Structure 1
Amino acid sequence: MKKWLKASLLLAIVAVLLAACGGKGASGGDSKNIKIGATVGPYSDMVNQAIKPLLEKKGYKIEVVEFNDYIQPNKNLANKSLDANLFQHIVYMKKFAEDNKMDLTALISVPTAPMGIYSKKFTSIDQIADGSTIAVANDPTNLARTLGLLQDAGLVKVNPNIDPATASEKDVTDNPHNFKIEPIEGAQLARTLDSADVVAIPGNFALAAKLDLTTALKLENMPENYRNQVVVRTDEADSQLAKDLKEVVESADFEKVIDDKFKGFSKPDWMKNR
Structure 2
Amino acid sequence: MKKLTWILAASALALAACGGEEADTGTTEGGEASKDIKLGATAGPYSDMLNEAIVPALEEKGYTVETIEFSDYIQPNNALNNGEIDANLFQHTVYLENFETENDMDLSALITVPTAPMGIYSNEFDSLDAVSDGATIAIPNDPVNGARALLMLQDEGLVELDPEAEVLQASERDVTENPKNLVFQPIEAGQLPRAVEGTDLAAVPGNFALAADMDLLDALALENMPDQYRNVVAVAAENEDSELAADLVEIVESEEFETVIDEQFEGFGKPEWMAE
Calculate the TM-score normalised by the size of structure 2: 0.82
Alignment partner of 1:142 is 2:145: yes
Q: What per-residue deviation string (whole Å, max 9, x for no partner) do you get for residues 221-250 of structure 1?
A: 232222211111111111111111111111
State the distance in 1 between where 2:249 and 2:240 align: 10
Is residue 91–residue 164 contact of structure 1 (8 Å, CA) maintained in 2? Answer: no
Is residue 227–residue 271 contact of structure 2 (8 Å, CA) maintained in 1? Answer: yes
Is residue 116–residue 216 contact of structure 1 (8 Å, CA) maintained in 2? Answer: yes
Segments of 5+ residues of structure 1 without an aligned counterpart are 1-15, 24-30
Alignment partner of 1:58 is 2:33: no
Percent identity (aligned): 57
Q: Greater shift after overlay, 159-168 or 222-231?
A: 159-168
Q: Against the structure 1 CA distance between its residues 104 and 272, is the aligned structure 2 distance closer, same or farther, given a 3 Å change threshold?
A: same
Counterpart secondary structure, 1:247: helix
Is residue 112–residue 230 contact of structure 2 (8 Å, CA) maintained in 1? Answer: yes
1:1-274 matches, cutoff 5 A: 18=28, 21=31, 23=33, 31-163=34-166, 166-273=169-276
State the distance in 1 between where 2:77 and 2:140 align: 20
Letter in 2 for 1:59: G
State the distance in 2 between where 1:119 and 1:171 align: 24
Is residue 148–residue 168 contact of structure 2 (8 Å, CA) maintained in 1? Answer: no
Is residue 144–residue 162 contact of structure 1 (8 Å, CA) maintained in 2? Answer: no
Letter in 1 for 2:203: A
Counterpart secondary structure, 1:134: strand
State the distance in 1 between where 2:212 and 2:200 align: 18
Counterpart secondary structure, 1:70: coil
Give the count of matched residue pairs: 251
State the distance in 1 between where 2:199 and 2:74 align: 27
Q: Against the structure 1 CA distance between its residues 36 and 197, is the aligned structure 2 distance closer, same or farther, given a 3 Å change threshold?
A: same
* CA positional deviation for 1:17: 8.5
* CA positional deviation for 1:255: 1.4
* CA positional deviation for 1:70: 2.7
* CA positional deviation for 1:129: 2.6
* CA positional deviation for 1:164: 5.8
Q: What per-residue deviation string (whole Å, max 9, x for no partner) do you get for residues 111-158 of structure 1?
A: 122221001111111222333322222332222211100111222222
State the distance in 2 between where 1:110 and 1:20 align: 34
Q: What per-residue deviation string (whole Å, max 9, x for no partner) do you get for residues 10-49 of structure 1?
A: xxxxxx98568364xxxxxxx3222222222221111010
Counterpart secondary structure, 1:65: strand
Letter in 2 for 1:46: M
Is residue 113–residue 203 contact of structure 1 (8 Å, CA) maintained in 2? Answer: yes
Counterpart secondary structure, 1:147: helix
* CA positional deviation for 1:207: 2.0
Segments of 5+ residues of structure 2 without an aligned counterpart are 1-25
Q: Against the structure 1 CA distance between its residues 216 and 251, is the aligned structure 2 distance closer, same or farther, given a 3 Å change threshold?
A: same
State the distance in 1 between where 2:129 and 2:136 align: 15
Is residue 151–residue 167 contact of structure 2 (8 Å, CA) maintained in 1? Answer: no
Larger Rg: 1
Q: Against the structure 1 CA distance between its residues 98 and 104, is the aligned structure 2 distance closer, same or farther, given a 3 Å change threshold?
A: same
Calculate the TM-score normalised by the size of structure 1: 0.83
Letter in 2 for 1:261: Q
Q: Greater shift after overlay, 121-130 or 227-236?
A: 121-130
Q: Greater shift after overlay, 187-196 or 157-166?
A: 157-166
